[in-house]
Amino acid sequence: MNRKEFLKVCGGVCLGAAGISVLLQSCATTQTITGVVSGNQLQLSKAVFEKSNDEKISYRKYIITHVENLDYPIVIYRNNADDYTALLLRCTHQGNEVSVSGDLLSCSAHGSEFDRTGAVIQGPAEKNLVSYRVTSDEKNIYVQLS
């Protein structure tokens, strides 16, 4: 793929993601987006955590990101403006998808529960969820996928 095609595809994906995020914000409390990966790094704008209500900005506790080439989504928690936690939503017991309900992550298959850091609260899972290293700058969040 040449540079021009690459820029066209990336631009289309960014516009599509922005449009979808606006639609999702209006009809759901959980923000779900499709993440774009470059190399082994997922990059997201910090703005995806913002929600405005009567001209006042507040922040979502978490967003769920679907990443190409990953079979499971990633939840990213906003701890504060510069601190984020990213977890793969795959139960460590038998590999079922984990659902997010605020600070509680649960597996509907066998009842395993995890906290927002991925630590096991209740089995049968014995291992914590897979977590990723997260860094940020003024505008973006970077999740290292390897």
Residue 74, CA atoms < 13 Å, CB-side half-sphere: 28
Q: Which DSSP state fits 90?
A: B
- What is the domain count for the chain? 1
Q: Is the pLDDT of residue 145 over 80?
A: yes
User: What tens digit of pLDDT does each residue of 56-83 get?
Assistant: 888 889 999 988 878 899 999 999 888 9
Asked if residue 42 is part of any domain, the answer here is yes
79, two tokens: 């701890």
User: What tens digit of pLDDT does each residue of 105-132 get?
Assistant: 999 888 899 999 999 998 898 999 999 9
Residue 26: domain span: 3-90+130-144
Asked if residue 37 is part of any domain, the answer here is yes
Between 28 and 133, the higher pLDDT residue: 133
CA gap 54, 114 in Å, rounded:
34
pLDDT value at residue 22: 43
Give the lowest-confidence range in 4-13, 124-133, 134-143.
Answer: 4-13
Asked if residue 102 is part of any domain, the answer here is no
Question: Residues of the chain with pLDDT > 90: what percent?
Answer: 35
Q: What is the mean pLDDT of residues 90-111?
A: 89
Asked if residue 33 is part of any domain, the answer here is yes
pTM of the model: 0.74
